[in-house]
Structures are given as C-alpha cells and as structure tokens.
Structure 1
Amino acid sequence: MKLQRVGEPGRERPILLGADGQAYDLTPVTADIDGHFLAGGGIAAAAAALDAGRLPRIDITGRRVGAPVARPGAVWCIGMNYAAHAAESGALPPETPVVFFKTPNTVVGPYDEVLIPRGSDRTDWEVELAVVIGSRARYLDSPEEAWKCIAGYTISNDVSERRFQLEESGGQWSKGKCCETFNPLGPALVPAAELDPKDLRLRSFVNGEPRQDSSTADLIFDVAYLVWHLSQFAVLEPGDILNTGTPEGVALSGRFPYLRPGDVVELEIEGIGRMRQRLRAADQPAVTP
C-alpha cells in the first residue's frame, strides 16, 4: 500500500492506495498523515482498517496531490552523498556526512509549480530518496537500531539555487536551499516494511531529456547510517524528513543548462513513483489551466 494526501494546500485529506491502485478514504483512521499518526502506529492501523473493509473507496480523479507528510518539523539534508556527484561538484567524497537544513515551508506537493527565485540564474534539480521518520531517534546505539525509527520513504526534489548556495552563502548552504517551493515531496509515502532502500534506481529528466540515472546502492552513507549518525547530534522526531543526497547529473556539473521558466522536471524512484514540476519565475503570475 501507499499513503497520500489529496486536496488544495492546507485542506488535504489522507488516503490509502491499495495494491490495485484503488484509493480509500483514510479519515476513519486519522485526520492527517503527520508525526502523531506515524508515532502512534498509524501505518499498521491503516493496513488493518483496509483489511477489515472499514475504509470507503474514494475517487481522486483530478484532485491535487499534496506532500505525503503534513507539517514536518524538520527537513534534514545530506550533501555530496554520492561519490560521482561530489566529483562533479569539485569536491572529494566526504569522510563524515555533510548536513544542512531546509525550512519546512519549502515542502510542496509532487506536481506543484517550482518558483525560480528573484535574481536566480542557477536554479538546479536534485532527485533524492527521502526518509520519513516514524519514531523518535535519540542517541541510537547502532545503525541497525535506526531501521526501527523509519516510517517509510518518498521522493524529494532538493531544488537548489547554486549562486545563492555557493557564492552568497557565507559558508552555509541554506540561502540556496530555502527558497519557496524548493522541496517538492511525494507522490506517496511507501511504508518501510514494503520497500528495501538499499538498491533503488533513481532518475531525473528535464523537458523529457534524461539527466540523472543512478542507484541508492551508490550512497556513500546509507539510510540506516544516516539516521544513526544524526541521532548522535540531534533528536529526530516523527514526521521529520531526511533527504539522503543526490547522484551525478545536475546542472552544477556544467554538462546541462540551469532551469528556466517553462521547463518541466520529472523525477522517479523505483517502487515509489514519479513526480513532475513546471518551473515559473516567482515574480510572474500563475497561469490558470
């Protein structure tokens, strides 16, 4: 099964997608898919309700799909976690995870527009496996223990403005990472029990042309290690998002042009799905379909 949230921003409702793609209303189980739901055994309760026939079928045709997790408390991000991406960035592979943050209000739906910031000339895409934290991770004893703290997985586009990130940063990356709409997330949350994150193909496309094509098997620091490592320095809370890094094939490499208004970015990860965003200049009005 997969979990989604559908509806207009701020008014999303939780749904469950069965193995056959049928959508079911999840409101008999929870008002939303958030940290409280995840920490309270919500995924197991949703599966049980589905098996018991307690979830009404629902038609979501034409409905907006929101981010699959509501109101994350933190968006943790790992930089240069694929050796080839570190190389195209002009850096050596790190000996310890490189950590930065995005503000939670960067998170938008998987098909929402991405706004190119005022003054931007180097807006870039990054396909990433996103880990959704399901229970508090604090001073974990080992990476193996980290698996118990993971609710599931989804796709993140860690959109970046490289000039803001690298030339106007003052030594930190957040100026190039926290612009509005800079973290599309989705299209669904796949429960941890239903997906092995160790060797998933992840790809990106710009205007239909291939860009990134790699596997999570090439992560320098894998999912369990990252959760364990971060728990030694901070407390990860249910509903937090962890972006695990992007492979080679971004515009920063110099091999591809940066994004412009009207461009379309598509990202996919095996076993999770595909997302799609159109780019628009932040100062330009939205076009009503």
Structure 2
Amino acid sequence: MIQRHFLEPYEKIFYVTILKSMNENFIQFIGHSSALVHLDGITLTVDLNLSSRVGGLFKRHGTIGLDLNNLPKVDAFLVTHAHYDHLDIFSYKYFDQKIPFIAPVGFASLINKFLHNPVIELELNSKHFVNNVAISAIPTQHYGFRISGLNYTKCNGYIIQCADHTVYHPGDTGYGPHFKQIADMFSIDVAFLPIGAFEPRSLLGHQHLNPQEALQAFEDLHAKVMVPIHWGAFRLGMEPIDEPLRRLKALLENNPLKDRVKILQPGEKLELGSL
C-alpha cells in the first residue's frame, strides 16, 4: 500500500479536474515527472511513479495525483530512462500485466526481471502507433542507469501525436541544441519540461534543466504551453524541495511567457481542445 505523508506548509492536496467527456484530449500531471496523456481515446502514462519513496531512500512529499482505488484504463506505459524515479517497478503492479511498455532499446530484459508485460523497445528517431496515436522516440541530453546494471543507459524523449494535438515529454534532460532541432520537426502543443534537481550545477547541470533553462527550452521548442515537472515530490538535488517552483514563479513575473506556463498540481488536468 502506498504510504501517505503529512503535508508540509507549501504542499497541496491533489487537484481534481472535472472533464466534460473522457473523449476529450487532455494531459494530467500525476506528480514528479509522471504524466498521463489522453489522445483520441488512447491513454498513456509517462514515467509512472506511485511510490512513497524513490529507491527506498527519498520520501515523497505531498500526494499522488491518481486515486489508487480508481485507476484509469491505460493502453501503454512509456518509460524514458532507467533512473529509479522514472522507472519505478512497483508502480506497475497496480495494473494488468498485459499492458505494453514502450521503452528505450535494451529495457525488455530489465523490465521482465520483475514484470511479465510485453515490452516494445523503441529506437531513437523511430515511431510506434497505438491505434491512431503516434509515439516517436527522440534524443534527450541525459544518462540513465540502475545500480543493478550500468548497461541500461539509453534515454528516450517522446513526442506523442494524434491528428489534433502533439505532446512532448523528455523525461530528464539538460539544456542543449536538441530543443531547436525538435522544433524543426514537430509543432508542439504541450511541452512537459523538468525544472528540479539542478544543484549542484557542476554535477547536474549537463543532465538537468534549472527553471531558467526550462523557460529557454520552452522558447526554443515554440510550444504553445509548458507544463513544469520534476518538482515538489522528491528532493533529488541539493536545492530545497520548494526552490524549483519558487524560482520559476519569480522568473515568470512580468514575463510574456507567464500565461503560457501552466503549473499543475498533482492530479490536475489540462484540456487540449482550446490550444
């Protein structure tokens, strides 16, 4: 059972958004880097984490943005890389083990050590369809691994597309030229962009965006909306856990991007029909 922790002053309970219809396209922030993407009747999760701790060490602050007693029907699980906060094996035991994973090359052997789900290994710059929803694996600037093996180092970012909407989720990433390259290939409606675990820069700067870099990446991507992720749930960097969001809000004051950055609380949904 997932443990619940008392909320600290800056933390919020998870947010519930009432949708007019489950047929509408929407995204949902689950917490940390976990997201749910619902396009054309297909529901995908990215880097699902429903656990109270990362790797048994770092405790979760706040709540999980899904009701564990009323979980949605999911068509596929997307995994960007092998770090424990992004590939949490225990989170998938709440779901049917017939649901496929879509993951970087080499991950089938890792996932199938613990779960019996089918695993689709998606090479960079290749595409897989779930009905009419296209999932493209694209480069990111990160390095993933597990303590159990250093061979699971590959990382995928994902572009998730239907006829009307395009969603980008990089998992973890540092700042680099890949954002402008992605913008040349895709017209993005929603960009999930990580903002936390950025200190110390000497160690994490190449692999993790800070809030200022996330805003620059948002501009580079020419996305309509940015949804910040990788904040508030686990303290994985040296900065205080509330620092990423506090710094982002400060940067957005009097910033023309302010209205296009949607800070979602865990459980909150954003309908895509108006984008």
Q: Name the TM-score class by shorter chain.
A: under 0.3
Higher relative contact order (CA 8 A, sep 6+): 1
> Bigger radius of gyration, 1 or 2?
1
Q: Which has the higher strand share?
A: 1
User: TM-score of the superposition, structure 2-length normalised?
Assistant: 0.25
User: TM-score of the superposition, structure 1-length normalised?
Assistant: 0.24
